[in-house]
């Protein structure tokens, strides 16, 4: 637990104390710290609403002012249960009703684990801790919202009220946090995405399936161009793969059945004629084997019933061996059946890796071909629950800045380093100053369940990854037990300029999938080896990354990314003036600049206002005097009027700023 998490969790105890002072019958469940705050789940006949917050906060303040120490007491399971029965857990005193959720929690604590209670004032709670020293250490707090939640997240369990709050070391930090939230509301990508005509989610197309309007399409083009250029220079090669694949591919890759819940349900296709025949052959084979095995079992039974000579015993042993061999064969055959059946079903791809692995396997590879870097802005589909969908951040279709790098173990460090460099360069380009890499590792106790059972490879790849992170001086934390099934994983969190946190990219080391899909290369000694694979997506998905950028820039994109880079506004509609303006428009477009002309008959002020509203980066305001001087008056969004410039200079500056991808 970090310091701030400890502070916030301690505040949850103080919240429970206050609620009990007002409603002594309250039953508490869990009260952990969460991102940006804490909550406590409570079961209470009174429905707590934000109108109650003032009253609850007043009680909390009293508890903080009393400056009670948080005292830890270790108890036996029996003692803890007895207190629970008397209603004394998460309570101020003994009560008529048992502390039902706390009793359930105790019963789920593994045998032999220490059970501890924490006391602040009269309030005693079952808790592993840790907490701050005294309630007075809580500097500033605020209750923020109330929601409902099922006990343990299971809808079969009772519904509880979840009271959210946040806490900080001092008032200033708390105020800054709420000011940031206010600013974040203004920058909300859902609000700006609509106002600036970037994307739309249409109910007939489907929830979680964003469509990009031309302005969004322009941003996408720029990001893909950036990725294409950067990756080309770094030795990547581009590939293209379809959006769907047969079930058999995902069975081989291991995504099915484990990942099925995150995928759209399959499309059932008609059988191909060849496949029906294949299936019939396998089935016939299985049947005839069954007959033979039944026969052998009969023979074996007869032998076992008869007096045993050496010869007969040998025959029995042979028969048993044969029967066992047949069982193994049967299993293989039923696998074949499944594979053939799996060829009838198609899935929308939820990840690009299996397709790319197939491209690796499509051509014989030698160590000389490695590292091989295959890149694609691939479209993936994931079935997020409708309750989880959120603007561009949680969607069901996504275009991913994906690439898979296949390499020998000796090449890992260099390749991984290069990937990190790529991240850092992108961060610099987008003005991301604060970021964190979360390096998720495996838990040896969960090998074979949560993590593929390759203890040596886990150790080796995690060590290699850790070394690269350490040596490169990148800001990272290590999180045990959160790796992907296939290998250690790095999630990148970035903070926008106003301090809002986003998870935007991932980076994963994979030593299992290449093996499952039989990817091999011929090594120097002519033996076949399995390559290591890095999955990386520094620009994440267009959806999430553009969502982030909208909020990061508050819609004021730098020129190179701006959906509309230049708008030409004429003062009046004199025919010669229009001709002059059209020639500028033509010149800009010939240089691939996204330029428009305002053809309305509005006054110039109205035209400027409309362009500013759409956050058009640069405006060329053109009056008669500009035309006569072969000039334009330049106006930049957020900067105002920059005065008249020769037409050629103004255009040259625009082109240079775009070419250099300048930050403003
Ligand atoms: Zn606690
Ligand atoms: Zn991948």
| Cα gap 408→524, rounded to integer Å | 11
Q: Please give the distance, rounded to the nearest whole angstrom, from the Cα atom of residue 90 to the centre of ligand 1.
A: 10
Is the predicted pLDDT of residue 306 greater than 80, yes or no?
no
Q: Please give the distance, rounded to the nearest whole angstrom, from the Cα atom of residue 267 to the centre of ligand 1.
A: 49
- The secondary structure of 321-349 as a DSSP string is HHHHHHHHHHHHHHHHHHHHHHTTEEEE-
Quickly state the pLDDT bin for 450 (edges 50, 70, 90): confident
- What pLDDT, in 10s, does the model give residues 73-85? 999 999 999 999 9
- pLDDT at position 103, please? 96
Residues 121 and 13 both lie in one domain: yes
- pLDDT at position 162, please? 97
Residues 373 and 226 both lie in one domain: yes
* Helix intervals (H) in 569-630: 575-590, 604-613, 624-628
Domain stop point among 169, 200, 220? 169
Residues 536 and 628 both lie in one domain: no
Quote the strand ranges of 207-316, DSSP E: 211-212, 237-238, 244-246, 267-268
Q: Please give the distance, rounded to the nearest whole angstrom, from the Cα atom of residue 519 to the centre of ligand 2.
A: 14
Q: Which residue has the higher pLDDT, 12 or 510?
A: 12
Tokens representing 157 are 């369990």
- What pLDDT, in 10s, does the model give residues 581-603? 999 999 999 999 999 999 899 99
What does the mean pLDDT of the chain come to?
93
Q: Please give the distance, rounded to the nearest whole angstrom, from the Cα atom of residue 246 to the centre of ligand 2.
A: 17
Over residues 143-166, the mean pLDDT reads: 95
Identify the burial level of 244 via C-beta atoms within 10 angstroms of its C-beta, where 0-12 means exposed, 13-18 middle and 19 or more buried: middle
Q: Is residue 135 part of a domain?
A: yes
CA distances from 649 to 61, 613, 630, 631, 642 (A): 63, 26, 11, 9, 13
Q: Please give the distance, rounded to the nearest whole angstrom, from the Cα atom of residue 83 to the centre of ligand 1.
A: 17
Q: Please give the distance, rounded to the nearest whole angstrom, from the Cα atom of residue 88 to the centre of ligand 1.
A: 15
| Cα gap 489→482, rounded to integer Å | 8
- Nearest ligand atom owner, CA of 534: 2
| Cα gap 172→62, rounded to integer Å | 21
Q: Please give the distance, rounded to the nearest whole angstrom, from the Cα atom of residue 46 to the centre of ligand 1.
A: 24
Q: Please give the distance, rounded to the nearest whole angstrom, from the Cα atom of residue 14 to the centre of ligand 1.
A: 10
- Nearest ligand atom owner, CA of 533: 2
- pLDDT at position 392, please? 96
What is the three-class DSSP state of 523?
coil
Percent of the chain with pLDDT over 90: 74
Q: Please give the distance, rounded to the nearest whole angstrom, from the Cα atom of residue 516 to the centre of ligand 2.
A: 14
Q: Are 465 and 416 in contact (CB under 8 A)?
A: yes
- pLDDT at position 327, please? 80
Q: Please give the distance, rounded to the nearest whole angstrom, from the Cα atom of residue 188 to the centre of ligand 2.
A: 30
- pTM to 2 decimal places: 0.78
- Nearest ligand atom owner, CA of 119: 1
| Cα gap 181→175, rounded to integer Å | 10
CA distances from 553 to 364, 392, 497, 615, 634 (A): 46, 16, 8, 11, 22
Structural domain range at position 605: 566-659
- Nearest ligand atom owner, CA of 10: 1
Q: What is the DSSP letter of 134?
A: B
Identify the burial level of 328 via C-beta atoms within 10 angstroms of its C-beta, where 0-12 means exposed, 13-18 middle and 19 or more buried: exposed
Q: Is residue 263 part of a domain?
A: no
Q: Which segment of 26-40, 264-278, 541-555 scores lowest on mean pLDDT? A: 264-278
Residues 454 and 544 both lie in one domain: yes
- Nearest ligand atom owner, CA of 509: 2
Residues 479 and 591 both lie in one domain: no
Over residues 607-614, the mean pLDDT reads: 96
- pLDDT at position 503, please? 87
Q: Is residue 199 part of a domain?
A: no
Q: Please give the distance, rounded to the nearest whole angstrom, from the Cα atom of residue 259 to the centre of ligand 1.
A: 35
- Nearest ligand atom owner, CA of 72: 1
Residues 162 and 254 both lie in one domain: no
- pLDDT at position 486, please? 83
Quickly state the pLDDT bin for 328 (edges 50, 70, 90): confident
Tokens representing 427 are 């961060």
Q: Are 374 and 237 in contact (CB under 8 A)?
A: yes
Composition of the chain by helix, strand, coil, percent to 5: 45, 25, 30
- Nearest ligand atom owner, CA of 70: 1
Residues 145 and 65 both lie in one domain: yes
Q: Please give the distance, rounded to the nearest whole angstrom, from the Cα atom of residue 100 to the centre of ligand 1.
A: 17
| Cα gap 245→350, rounded to integer Å | 10
Q: Please give the distance, rounded to the nearest whole angstrom, from the Cα atom of residue 270 to the centre of ligand 2.
A: 30
Q: Please give the distance, rounded to the nearest whole angstrom, from the Cα atom of residue 166 to the centre of ligand 1.
A: 15
Is the predicted pLDDT of residue 169 greater than 90, yes or no?
yes
Residues 486 and 620 both lie in one domain: no
Sign of CA dihedral 499, 502, 504, 505: positive
Q: Which segment of 14-28, 251-265, 316-330, 359-373 scores lowest on mean pLDDT? A: 316-330
Q: Please give the distance, rounded to the nearest whole angstrom, from the Cα atom of residue 501 to the centre of ligand 1.
A: 26
Is the predicted pLDDT of residue 457 greater than 90, yes or no?
no
Over residues 168-189, the mean pLDDT reads: 93
Quickly state the pLDDT bin for 401 (edges 50, 70, 90): very high
Q: Are 207 and 384 in contact (CB under 8 A)?
A: no
Q: Across the strands, what pairs with 606?
A: none
Q: Please give the distance, rounded to the nearest whole angstrom, from the Cα atom of residue 504 to the centre of ligand 2.
A: 15
Residues 594 and 510 both lie in one domain: no
Cβ contacts of 257 within 8 Å, gap of 6 or more: none
- What pLDDT, in 10s, does the model give residues 82-135? 999 999 999 999 999 999 999 999 999 998 899 999 999 999 999 999 999 999
Identify the burial level of 566 via C-beta atoms within 10 angstroms of its C-beta, where 0-12 means exposed, 13-18 middle and 19 or more buried: buried
- pLDDT at position 237, please? 98
Which CATH number fits the domain that encloses residue 602?
3.40.50.800
Q: Which segment of 25-39, 177-191, 247-261, 390-404 scores lowest on mean pLDDT? A: 247-261
Q: Are 568 and 597 in contact (CB under 8 A)?
A: yes
Geometric angle at alpha carbon 65, from 98 and 1, rounded to 5° = 65
Which CATH number fits the domain that encloses residue 405?
3.30.930.10
Q: Please give the distance, rounded to the nearest whole angstrom, from the Cα atom of residue 353 to the centre of ligand 2.
A: 4
Q: Please give the distance, rounded to the nearest whole angstrom, from the Cα atom of residue 292 to the centre of ligand 2.
A: 45
Determine the length of the chain.
Answer: 664
Residue among 544, 531, 528, 547 nearest 400 (CA): 544
Residues 216 and 281 both lie in one domain: no
β-pairing, 566-570 with 618-622? parallel
Q: Please give the distance, rounded to the nearest whole angstrom, from the Cα atom of residue 460 to the centre of ligand 2.
A: 20
Q: Which residue has the higher pLDDT, 318 or 442?
A: 442
Is the predicted pLDDT of residue 136 greater than 90, yes or no?
yes
Q: Please give the distance, rounded to the nearest whole angstrom, from the Cα atom of residue 130 to the centre of ligand 1.
A: 6
- What pLDDT, in 10s, does the model give residues 536-576? 999 999 999 999 999 999 999 999 999 999 999 999 989 99
| Cα gap 116→77, rounded to integer Å | 9
Over residues 251-275, the mean pLDDT reads: 85
Q: Please give the distance, rounded to the nearest whole angstrom, from the Cα atom of residue 509 to the centre of ligand 2.
A: 9
- What pLDDT, in 10s, does the model give residues 214-231? 999 999 999 999 999 999
Q: Is residue 112 part of a domain?
A: yes
Domain stop point among 316, 343, 370? 343
| Cα gap 38→336, rounded to integer Å | 51
Q: Is residue 16 part of a domain?
A: yes
- pLDDT at position 307, please? 64
Percent of the chain with pLDDT over 70: 100
Packing angle of the helix pair 542-553, 171-187 (nearest 10 deg): 120
Domains of the chain: total: 4
Q: Please give the distance, rounded to the nearest whole angstrom, from the Cα atom of residue 420 to the centre of ligand 2.
A: 16
3-state per-residue secondary structure call for 94-116: CCCCCCHHHHHHHHCCCCCCCEE
- Nearest ligand atom owner, CA of 506: 2
| Cα gap 461→275, rounded to integer Å | 41
Q: Are 415 and 371 in contact (CB under 8 A)?
A: yes
Q: Is residue 442 part of a domain?
A: yes
Tokens representing 4 are 């701030």
Q: Please give the distance, rounded to the nearest whole angstrom, from the Cα atom of residue 129 to the centre of ligand 1.
A: 5
- Nearest ligand atom owner, CA of 89: 1
- pLDDT at position 521, please? 97
- pLDDT at position 193, please? 97
Q: Is residue 126 part of a domain?
A: yes
Q: Please give the distance, rounded to the nearest whole angstrom, from the Cα atom of residue 484 to the centre of ligand 2.
A: 11
Q: What is the DSSP letter of 588?
A: H
- pLDDT at position 451, please? 86
- Nearest ligand atom owner, CA of 28: 1
Q: Please give the distance, rounded to the nearest whole angstrom, from the Cα atom of residue 13 to the centre of ligand 1.
A: 6
- Nearest ligand atom owner, CA of 403: 2
Q: Are 426 and 538 in contact (CB under 8 A)?
A: yes
Q: Other CB atoms closer than 10 Å to residue 26's CB: what's the count?
A: 22
Helices (H) and strands (E) in the chain, counts: 19, 28
Q: Please give the distance, rounded to the nearest whole angstrom, from the Cα atom of residue 163 to the centre of ligand 1.
A: 15
Q: Is residue 177 part of a domain?
A: no
Over residues 467-477, the mean pLDDT reads: 88
Which CATH number fits the domain that encloses residue 9?
3.30.980.10
- Nearest ligand atom owner, CA of 536: 2
What is the three-class DSSP state of 214?
helix
Phi first, then psi: what are they for 184, rounded to 5°? -60, -35
Identify the burial level of 613 via C-beta atoms within 10 angstroms of its C-beta, where 0-12 means exposed, 13-18 middle and 19 or more buried: exposed
Q: Please give the distance, rounded to the nearest whole angstrom, from the Cα atom of residue 158 to the centre of ligand 1.
A: 22
β-pairing, 211-212 with 115-120? unpaired
Residues 517 and 423 both lie in one domain: yes
Q: Please give the distance, rounded to the nearest whole angstrom, from the Cα atom of residue 171 to the centre of ligand 1.
A: 23
Q: Please give the distance, rounded to the nearest whole angstrom, from the Cα atom of residue 31 to the centre of ligand 2.
A: 36
- Nearest ligand atom owner, CA of 374: 2
Is the predicted pLDDT of residue 308 greater than 80, yes or no?
no
Q: Please give the distance, rounded to the nearest whole angstrom, from the Cα atom of residue 136 to the centre of ligand 2.
A: 49
Q: Which residues of 509-538 are buried (b: 16+ CB within 10 A; e: fewer)?
A: bbbbbbbbbebbbeeeeeeebbbbbbbbbb
Q: Please give the distance, rounded to the nearest whole angstrom, from the Cα atom of residue 128 to the centre of ligand 1.
A: 6
CA atoms within 13 A on the CB side of 44: 22
Quickly state the pLDDT bin for 70 (edges 50, 70, 90): very high
Residues 577 and 490 both lie in one domain: no
- Nearest ligand atom owner, CA of 356: 2
Phi first, then psi: what are they for 401, rounded to 5°? -75, 65
- Nearest ligand atom owner, CA of 128: 1
Domain stop point among 169, 194, 221? 169
């Amino acid at each position: 637990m970090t310091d701030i998490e400890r502070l916030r969790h301690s505040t949850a105890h103080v919240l429970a104390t206050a609620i009990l002072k007002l409603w002594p019958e309250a039953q508490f469940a869990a009260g952990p710290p969460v991102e940006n705050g804490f909550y406590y789940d409570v079961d209470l006949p009174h429905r707590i609403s934000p109108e109650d917050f003032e009253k609850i906060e007043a009680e909390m303040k009293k508890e903080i002012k009393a400056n009670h120490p948080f005292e830890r007491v270790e108890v036996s399971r029996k003692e803890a249960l007895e207190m629970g029965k008397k209603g004394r857990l998460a309570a101020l005193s003994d009560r008529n009703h048992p502390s039902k959720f706390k009793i359930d929690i105790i019963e789920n604590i593994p045998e032999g684990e220490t059970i501890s209670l924490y006391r602040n004032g009269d309030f005693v709670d079952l808790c592993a801790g840790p907490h701050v020293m005294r309630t007075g250490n809580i500097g500033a707090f605020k209750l923020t919202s109330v929601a409902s939640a099922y006990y343990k997240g299971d809808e079969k369990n009772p519904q509880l009220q979840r009271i959210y709050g946040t806490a900080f070391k001092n008032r200033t930090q708390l105020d800054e946090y709420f000011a940031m939230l206010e600013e974040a509301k203004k920058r909300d990508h859902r609000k700006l995405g609509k106002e600036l005509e970037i994307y739309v989610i249409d109910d007939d197309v489907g929830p979680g399936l964003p469509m990009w309007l031309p302005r969004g399409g322009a941003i996408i083009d720029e990001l893909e161009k950036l990725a294409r250029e950067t990756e080309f220079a770094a030795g990547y090669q581009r590939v293209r793969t379809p959006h769907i694949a047969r079930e058999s591919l995902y069975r081989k890759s291991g995504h099915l059945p484990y990942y099925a819940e995150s995928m759209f349900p399959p499309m059932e296709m008609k059988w191909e004629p060849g496949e029906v025949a294949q299936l019939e052959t396998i089935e016939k084979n299985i049947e005839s084997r069954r007959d033979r095995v039944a026969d052998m079992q009969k023979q074996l039974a007869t032998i076992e019933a008869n007096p045993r000579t050496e010869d007969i015993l040998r025959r029995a042993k042979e028969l048993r061996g044969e029967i066992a061999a047949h069982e193994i064969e049967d299993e293989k055959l039923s696998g074949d059946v499944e594979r053939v059946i799996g060829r009838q079903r198609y899935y929308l791809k939820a990840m690009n890796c299996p397709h790319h692995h197939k491209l690796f396997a499509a051509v014989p590879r030698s160590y000389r071909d490695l590292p091989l870097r295959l890149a694609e802005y691939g479209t993936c589909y994931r079935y997020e629950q409708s309750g989880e969908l959120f603007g561009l951040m949680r969607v069901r279709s996504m275009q991913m800045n994906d690439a898979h790098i296949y390499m020998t173990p000796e090449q890992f460090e260099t390749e991984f380093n290069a990937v990190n460099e790529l991240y850092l360069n992108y961060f610099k380009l987008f003005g991301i100053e604060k970021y964190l890499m979360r390096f998720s590792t495996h838990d040896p106790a969960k090998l074979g369940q949560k993590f593929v059972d390759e203890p040596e490879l886990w150790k080796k790849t995690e060590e290699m990854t850790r070394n690269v992170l350490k040596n490169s001086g990148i800001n990272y934390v290590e999180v045990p037990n959160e790796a992907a099934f296939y290998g250690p994983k790095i999630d990148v969190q970035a903070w926008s300029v106003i301090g809002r946190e986003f998870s935007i990219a991932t980076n994963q080391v994979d030593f299992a999938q290449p093996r499952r899909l039989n990817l091999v290369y011929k090594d120097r000694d002519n033996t076949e080896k399995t390559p290591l694979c890095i999955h990386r997506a520094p620009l994440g998905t267009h959806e999430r990354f553009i969502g982030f950028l909208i909020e990061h820039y508050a819609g004021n994109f730098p020129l190179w990314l701006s959906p509309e880079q230049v708008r030409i506004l004429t003062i009046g509609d004199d025919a010669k003036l229009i001709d002059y303006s059209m020639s500028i428009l033509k010149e800009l477009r010939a240089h691939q600049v996204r330029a428009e002309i305002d053809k309305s008959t509005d006054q110039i002020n109205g035209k400027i206002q409309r362009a500013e509203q759409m956050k058009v980066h640069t405006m060329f305001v053109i009056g008669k005097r500009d035309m006569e001087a072969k000039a334009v008056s330049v106006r930049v969004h957020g900067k105002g009027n920059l005065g008249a410039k020769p037409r050629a200079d103004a255009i040259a500056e625009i082109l240079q700023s775009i070419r250099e991808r300048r930050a403003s």
